[in-house]
Amino acid sequence: MSVEQFLYYEARLLDTQQFEAWLELFTDDATYWVPLERNQEDPLETSSIIHDDRTLLELRVKQARHPRAHARQPLARTVHQVGNVTVSEEKAGEITVNSTLQLVEFRSEKQRLYGALVEHRLRRENGGFKIAHKRVDLVNSEGELDGIAILF
């Protein structure tokens, strides 16, 4: 599977609401990060919109399935449009992949549009890939945002 195909597959899992299968794409030591600030370097002493290790990411997926997850049920419908994929050389067993994301979310009669620069660090595993790190820099991360209850 090519890197591009892997990113499209990941997006497809999110858009078809197969969150548990999506979670399986991540390594056990993975981080999933949506920084608050532009060019944010530190996730521990500056807040983040989302800063999850594998444990917290799993809680996030579980919450989406909870019948009284008011902001998440019924689930939003989304389109993750992945583009401008560039692949760097493999280093220390990881491939850094940069891409852009345009995401359309529809829920409760409201449609929202997000744009982001995305970085994946991928590891090869069983002929495919696993995500060791995913960073999503929303273009409006420092702006006034509605609550975010979807997965990027």
Q: How far is the CB of 122 from other proteins (least distance, A)?
A: 22
Contact residues toward other proteins (CB under 8 A) are 34, 36-37, 40, 44-51, 53, 55-56, 59-60, 62-63, 66, 68-72, 108, 142-149
Residues 6+ apart with CB under 8 A from 15: 78, 79, 80
Identity of the residue numbered 30: A
Q: How far is the CB of 29 from other proteins (least distance, A)?
A: 11
Smaller CB separation from other proteins, 108 or 126? 108
Smaller CB separation from other proteins, 17 or 48? 48
Smaller CB separation from other proteins, 40 or 78? 40
Smaller CB separation from other proteins, 45 or 89? 45
Q: How far is the CB of 55 from other proteins (least distance, A)?
A: 5
Backbone angles phi, psi at 9, to 5 degrees: -65, -45
Q: How far is the CB of 40 from other proteins (least distance, A)?
A: 8
Give the helix ranges, DSSP H, for 47-119.
54-65
- Rg over CA atoms, the chain: 15
Separation of alpha carbons 44 and 74, rounded Å: 32
Backbone angles phi, psi at 128, to 5 degrees: -125, -150
